[in-house]
Structures are given as structure tokens and as C-alpha cells.
Structure 1
Amino acid sequence: MRLLRRLPLVLAAVAAWLPAAGTASADPAGAASVAPTAVVSADFPDPDVLQVGSTFYAYSTSSWAGRVPVASAPSATGPWTVRGDALPAKPSWAGNGGFWAPDVSRRADGRYLMYFTGPSTATGRMCIGAAVSSSPLGPFQPLGSAPLVCNASEGGDIDPSSFVDADGRRYLIYKNDGNAVGRPTILWLQQVQADGVTFVGGRSELIRNDRPEEAGVIEAPVLVKRPSQYVLFYAGGSYGGSGYFTSYATSRSLTGPYAKAYRPLMTTATLDGAVQGPGGADVAGDRVFFHGWVGNARWMYTADLGWANDYPVVRGSRVRYEAERGSLHNAMVRTGAAGASQGAVAAKIDYSDSWVDITVFAPVTGDYTAHVAYAAGYGDAQHLVTVNGSAQFVLSYPNRGWDNWTQVRADVRLVAGWNTLRFQHHVRWAELDYIEVA
């Protein structure tokens, strides 16, 4: 039984991936899907990216390059050059150890504000500090003799992120590290004054760790304001392996309530293994930046980011579209064993004039791969596939039996925005369950 979405179906990446089981005759101009690009091929985890004029700057968790490594590039895709340590002076309240997940933004006074996570000697927990600089390259000078946020009873506090709303109000978003002490892990929103370090009022809970796939961990918050809603990106699972993922939650209001996406935005599986454990994401313009494991290091990657009705879509990460939710013409819709009340699970294209239209979203114009889940039991079947009313090709479905859902792939050329794929009867019979576009 394929479950229907709580959020709009066409807008979230699938959490589980089935290997392709065949090939298709497709548009000869088509090519394989474009995977995310590694732009820093060295340890550069939890990247935060800032654009100043025509130059891009990135900051990472402590590594070989320093306490808070900084890199720069003339464009989002590079070439990126690691410049050194943006925070060479350790704050007085911090002990020895790594500094995690920095965030740099430009204040109204023109100075650059860095949030960072460091080890507090007083509490023995990781806490949030702040530093300022006149240059995005630093050096950043720590502010104050104590952390900005440091609640030992809730496990400490990590992963700070800045956000400025449309009305100019500034906020700090962060995580209490509850999973470190067996307590709930919550992402918090705290208003601050223009200096970024003076709190205004109390904090608001946005989301907490409440799903099995999160393995008790949510972190790395980044908030984006879209015309119709707020989108809160976050990471889930254990950062130390391929199970780490990036997801999101949405709300019409800044303070919530936020509804988590039905499926994560990026996982190792949705990226077809091109990135292991995609997480620690940041958004800069029309691109998303994140890290993934390569050996014992976490490289920085980037990919195109698009917005389908103000929901994020990442190029190279599979997005699922259910066939029975498309536009049907003379196509029988088959329901689950418990009847129609549980929802349709497949569209069977039975007649010579029957077809199914499935509308899919592309972040940018280019070549994509459609992975089509089907069942065929009376011999090999074929559909005539039309892309946006013009380009056509024949898609073949090897006979695997009606109870054996299988995938074939088709390379298609899509335009930026919404596209319509029509699957029309051609030879014998096949049922469509869903397609995944990467």
C-alpha cells in the first residue's frame, strides 16, 4: 500500500529507493541525472555559505584548516579555495576541542557576525558563542566572556543559524543537544536585536525529534522565507554514517506550528549513492550546500535548488510522484486490498486510447532521469511517453509479473518549472505505481 502524503505529494523526496531493473528506449538527447557536485574535496563539514557581492564564502566545522575554516570562490560552483582560519583566537570561556557548525551573516551596521559552537569549560557541554569581523574572511573576534546560549541541563546548545525576516527582525535558531543526555532534541527560535547577540523576549519551539528515522537526532537548522510559507531545513539521524539525511518542515507562521515533510529531501538513497549521508545543509540563492562522507572526511557539495509551490526540490535527489494522483483518461485505477477507502495504489493503462498524465517539477532546465515503477504480467509491455506535448519515445516494461513492482529508467529533457509526462498505451498492458525524478 502506497501511502498518500500529508504534504503535497509532488514536493518531497522519497525515503526508500528501489534499484532500477531495466533500461528504456528514450530521447537520444537525454542523459543521466545530474548528481550534486563536490566543490571542496577535503574535510569541510557543516558548511555555511555567504555571498558578498560576486564572491562566495564558506565556513565549516573545525578541521585540518583551522578552528573555523573559511573558503572563498568567484561563483557558487567554484573554484573554491580554503583560505585559513576565520576564528584564530579562542574565546576565553572555551576549552580544547572542535568548534562546530559556524554561521556567518552580515549585520545592518556592515560588520559580519559569526555564531559558532564551542566546548564550555564551565559546563563540560557544547555551547553557542558569537564573534564579529569587518571582513567575511576574518579574523573574527569573540564577543563576551561567556557563551551566548549554554543550558547544560538540556544537553548544551549547538548548531546556531541566523535568520532575518521580511520585516527586518533578526532571529537566532539553534538546537538544544538533548540527544547527548537522553532528553528531547528541539530546534528553537529566539528573536535578537540588530546586533544579533541581545535577546528579545523568550524562545519558541519549532520542531523536535519525534520520528523513527531521525534516530533521536534533529539538528543543523536553516530557515528560508518563501512567498507563501516558511521552510525549515534540518538534518536527522546519526551524522557519522550514510543514514544522515536532510529534510524540511513548513509553516505559514514564523513561530509555527511546523509540519515535517512526509519524506526527506536528500538521503544517500535519493541521491543514488552519489553522496553518503547528505547533511549539514545551507541555502544560498538557488543552490543548496551540504556535506557528505568520502572516506574519513566530509566534503562540501552543492546542487541546484528549485521551489515547487514553495516546497524545495533538489536536482539529483529523487522526488516521487504517484501515478494515481495524475490526470487519468480511460485508465483503470486499482485500489488496495482493503478497498478504495485506503486510497489508490496504481493506474492501469488498459485501452488503446488510455493514458496517464503525471506533472513533475524541475529546478532548472536540463536532462533528468525518470525511474518508473511498474508491474506487467501478460508479456513485455510498452508505453508511448510524451514530454510536454512534443518529444516522444517508447518505454519498455519487461514482464516481471503483476505482483512484482519493478523499475525502469528513462532519460528526459525537462524545462525549469512544471512539466507533463504522458504515459499512453502502446503494446500490451502495464500498471504504473509511481515515478521518481532525479
Structure 2
Amino acid sequence: MYALLSTIAAAMVASTAAFAQPADAGVFKRTTISPIMDGQNFPDPSLIRVDDGWHAFATNAKISGKTIHVQMAYSADFKTWTYRSGVDGMPTLPSWVDASSPRVWAPDVSQLPNGDFVMYYTAALKSNTALHCVSYATSKKVDGPYTDPTTTPWVCPTAQGGAIDPSGYVNADGTRWIVYKIDGNAIGHGGVCGNTVKPIVSTPIMLQQVSATDGHTKIGSPIQMITNGVADGPVTEAPSLSKLGSKYILFFSSNCFATTKYDVSYATATNIKGPYTKYGPLFITGTDGMTAPGGLDIAVNGNHAIWHAYVRNTTHPLTECISKHGREKGGGHKPAAADECDRNHGGGRAAFTAILSLSGNLVTASTLS
């Protein structure tokens, strides 16, 4: 049985440069949604379904004093989740990654035609530690260990700020694609998320076709899907591509993760290459008790979604905590001391799940109850 989430998505068509947002978006609240795994810190989560059930992956964390590059969780039914504490999906990193502070973010796993698995992920660049790059790693098993064969980053436009937040998609015609963000705010001119002081740097979401067989050989040049407009603030990031009904849906987050303006929004198109029209947002601060929801990932060719959010903490509000503890160098987009901020049950950002559906251009979300 499903319970309908409070939906903030705008029903009207918006322009490709901006989308309509309710005037009371910052205070909207009707119900409360509970995080999975009792609020275990599990940021930038992603999903894949295989024969034995659902597997989820998340950004690095320190567990019992040990750095885990890729966190993992499992569910047989998408309702009850088990956190695999201390288990690292990718214990060994390639030589181009900054070993002193690798910052492995936003892992996303897809299955290849031969049954193997490919993980797309973000890591800090050793030759310029303020920047991040996108790469891939492979494994015979869904839960790894994953190994990256590269000696240089796979996607790394350093002149534009590097790249983060990769996510894979397999089209109905068998073609395989990757979406990612060019991390322009990493070279921004200051302000919120390093990119509210003019001139504002573009943070486009890119679409790259890759080999359907190996998942990493690039085909052609990347295509820009959307970029940050006035309503998006300093960034568009955390893309995930799927198809609901007859339309391609590009989910993304906008505004700054370190403020309560962070959200989950989306854009739609009838062709995978676009043009994409922005709608939404789907989730904002106040939706079902969440604070700064973001990083939504939707299972390839499915409608099951996972995302993260901070849980309200009136003693140490999100913006106050970020201000106190600072941020990583280079204008990066993760807090330097997430656990110290105590923003949810377990510290960091909790994961949430739902089933998505599309009617016209309106996305709605329902939780398992």
C-alpha cells in the first residue's frame, strides 16, 4: 500500500531558464516522512535492482575511525534496509586520486550486458586537489569490490571546474548514457556555494553516450541538457535520468546544499537529447518535514527513487552549522564536518525512498506504508 507524499511540483509549464516555485516553499509542511536505516548518514545515494533485491550506494564516510570510500546498503523489498557498516564498495583508488583526501562522492552502479557491473563516481584530483573528476570502476559482483583501471580521470574538464555527480542510464533502444555536472562553482568567485558573486559560473548538466557493451568508451561529444538559471541559484547538480511514461525525466538539485533552499527538481523532454524544460520543484525544505532535500537517484528504467535530506535540528540549524565548521577548500559542495553538525539521527544526511509517477508534466511521489 502506498502513502502519497506532499507534492510541491508546479503544474504549469516553466521556461527552460527557470521554473515556478511556490511563494510559501520554505515553510510548506503537511506530514513527516521517515528516513531509512534510522537516519544513518548516507548522502548522495543511488539505487540498482538485481535478482536478490535492491542495492544502494552512497558518498564516503568515516565509520569507527575507518574511511569508507563507497558506503552500501541492501533491501530485499525496498522497504526494510540494512546498512552494511564498515564495508567499502571500492577500497582501492586509482593513482590520479588525491590519497590524502580522496572525497569519493555520488557512486552510481549499472549492470552491463555480460552481467558485470560498472560504478560511476567522483573523486578529488591529486594534481589539483580543489577540483574533482568523474571516473568508473567495474566488478563481477554488484557489491564489489570495484576497481578503477584508469591512470588519468575519465571525465575531467579542469578549465571549467572539473566534474561531479555521474549517473548512468540505459535507453529502451539499448543505447547507454551518462549524465554528470560540470562543477563550475568550484572555480566560482565567492558567496554561497562559491558561486553567487558575479560573474556567476555555469554549472551545466551534461549527457554523454557511451558504449552499450563496456559502459565507458565514449561515443561522440557530450551534450548540454540544462544549466543554472536565476531560479537555480549557484548550481544545478546531482542529475539522474529516467523515463516515466513517454517522457524522459532529468532529476536534479538546485540552489546550495549548505542552505535550506536546496531542493529536488526535474526537467522533461520527449527526446533523450532534449530540449529539456524545467518543472518543479518536487521536494523542498518543509516537504514532509525534510530540510534541504537533494541528490535524488532513480533506478535505471524504473520508478523507484532514493534521495537524501537533513533532519531539522533547532539547536544547530543547517546554515549555522555550516558557517561554524566551514567547508572544504576550493568551493566544494560538501560540509567539512558533517558529523559534528548532528543534523539527523546519525549525523550527516539521511536517505529517503519513494515510488515516482508522472501525469502530464507533474511528478508525484508515494512512499511504501
TM-score normalised by structure 2 residue count: 0.75
- Higher strand content, 1 or 2: 1
- Whether the 8 Å CA contact 1:241–1:276 is kept in 2: the answer is no
Partners of 1:35 and 1:315 within 8 A in 2 = no
Partner of 2:234: 216
Q: For the residues of structure 1 that align with 2:168 and 2:13, how far apart are their CA atoms?
A: 29
Instruction: Indicate conservation of the 8 Å contact 2:108/2:167, yes or no.
Output: yes
CA deviation string 1:346-367 (max 9, x = no partner):
xxxxxxxxxxxxxxxxxx9x9x
Return 5+ residue gaps in structure 2 as ranges: 1-9, 189-200, 312-342
Q: 1:49 to 1:129 in 2, by over 3 A?
A: same
- Distance in 2 separating the partners of 1:181 and 1:302: 33
Counterpart of 2:123 (choices 113, 118, 125) is 118
User: Does the 8 Å CA contact 1:35/1:303 hold for their aligned counterparts?
Assistant: no
Among candidates 348, 356, 360, match of residue 305 of structure 1 = 356
How many angstroms does 1:42 deviate by? 1.6
Question: Separation in 1 of the partners of 2:220 and 2:303?
Answer: 33
Q: Report the CA distance shift for 1:15/1:61 in structure 2 as closer, same or farther (over 3 A).
A: farther
Q: CA RMSD in A?
A: 2.5
CA distance in 1, matches of 2:158, 2:23: 34
Once the two structures are superposed, the pairs formed by residues 180-329 of structure 1 within 5 Å of their partners are 180-182=186-188, 183-193=201-211, 194-212=213-231, 214-261=232-279, 263-269=280-286, 271-272=287-288, 274-284=289-299, 285-294=302-311, 295=343, 296-309=347-360, 311-315=362-366
Give 1:290 shift: 0.7
Shift of 1:166: 0.8
Distance 1:225 1:166 in 2: 9
**Structure-1 residue corresponding to 2:317:** none
Q: 1:106 & 1:169 partners in 2: Cα distance? A: 13
**3-state SS of paired residue (1:172):** strand
SS in 1 for 2:159: helix
1:290–1:300: 8 Å Cα contact kept in structure 2? yes
- Residue of structure 2 equivalent to 1:43: 41
Q: Deviations over 1:175-225 (max 9, x none)?
A: 10011213211000011112111111111100000123x221110101112
Structure 1 position 15, deviation (Å): 6.0
Secondary structure (helix, strand or coil) at the match of 1:153 reads: helix
Q: Which has the higher contact order (CA 8 A, sep 6+)?
A: 2
- What is the aligned partner in structure 1 of residue 6 from structure 2? none
Identical-residue share of aligned pairs (%): 33
Measure how far apart 1:306 and its partner are: 2.2
The answer to whether the 8 A contact 1:13-1:266 is kept is: no
Matched-pair contact (CA < 8 Å) for 2:69–2:88? yes
Separation (CA, whole Å) in 2 of partners of 1:218 and 1:259: 14
8 A Cα contact 2:26 2:285, kept in partner:
no
CA shift, 1:46, in A, is: 0.4
Q: Does structure 1 conserve the Cα–Cα contact (< 8 Å) formed by 2:25 and 2:285?
A: no
In the superposition, the TM-score normalised over structure 1's length comes to 0.64
- Match runs of 1:155-166 below 5 Å: 155-166=161-172
- Residues 118-157 of structure 1: matches in 2 within 5 Å? 118-124=123-129, 125-157=131-163
For 1:15 and 1:111, the matched residues in 2 are separated by 47
Q: Which whole-Å deviations, capped at 9, do the CAs of 1:310-339 have from their partners, x for residues lacking one? A: 6421248xxxxxxxxxxxxxxxxxxxxxxx
Counterpart Cα distance in 2 of 1:277 and 1:53:
33
Secondary structure of the corresponding residue to residue 179 of structure 1: helix
| Structure 1 residue 109: Cα displacement | 1.3
- Specify the code of the residue in structure 1 equivalent to 2:218: F
Aligned length: 299
1:16 to 2:18 alignment: no
- Secondary structure in structure 1 of the residue aligned to 2:84: strand
Confirm or deny: 8 A CA contact 1:220 1:234 kept in the other structure. yes
Q: Give per-residue Cα distances to partners, 1:216-238, cap 9 Å, x unaligned.
A: 11101011123322110001111
* CA distance in 2 between partners of 1:17 and 1:126 (Å): 32
Q: Is the 8 A contact 1:242 1:293 kept in 2?
A: no
Q: Report which stretch shifted further, 77-86 or 110-119.
A: 77-86
Deviation at 1:113, TM superposition (A): 0.2
Per the TM alignment, residue 268 of structure 1 is displaced from its structure 2 partner at its CA by: 1.1
Q: Which residue of 1 aligns with 2:314?
A: none
- Matched AA of 1:6: V
Runs of 5+ in structure 1 lacking a partner? 21-31, 317-363, 367-438
Q: Which amino acid aligns with 2:88?
A: D
Whether the aligned pair in 1 keeps the contact of 2:73 and 2:81 (CA below 8 Å) is no
1:334 corresponds in structure 2 to none
Considering fraction of residues, name the structure with more helix.
Answer: 2
SS at match of 2:122: strand
Q: Is the 1:305–1:313 contact (alpha carbons within 8 Å) kept by the matching residues of 2?
A: yes
SS of 2:36's equivalent?
A: strand
Letter matched to residue 86 of structure 1: G
- Which residue number corresponds to residue 5 of structure 1? 12
SS in 1 for 2:349: strand
What is the CA–CA distance in structure 1 between the aligned matches of 2:42 and 2:23, rounded to whole Å? 26
